[in-house]
Amino acid sequence: MKKNGFTTEMKLELFTMGRNSIIMRVENIGDIFNTNGVVDYETVNIKSLAYDLFILMNGVDTIFQSEITELSLSGNCDYE
């Protein structure tokens, strides 16, 4: 998880949405009290994280194909 950009102040949740479809929620659970008042921005490589999770569940002998769409906070429509 560290190689994809995760820190100890992040949380990952996975929800199944049907066959071959999941919602991946990455949440920042840190606040200014965890960082001595400094605002800290982190970047997570979602494509690499999705690949690593796929390989973990399916093995290295399978072909990885994905379509990543950023959703609104409620998860019911595209972020765009």
DSSP labels, 50-79:
HHHHHHHHH-TTS--------B-TTSSSB-
Instruction: Record the pTM.
Output: 0.72
State the pLDDT at residue 8: 83
pLDDT (average), residues 21-36: 82
pLDDT of residue 4: 85
CA distances in angstroms from 79 to 53, 70, 74, listed in the order given: 23, 6, 10
Residues 31-80 have pLDDT tens digits of: 777 777 777 778 889 899 889 888 888 888 888 888 888 888 777 788 87
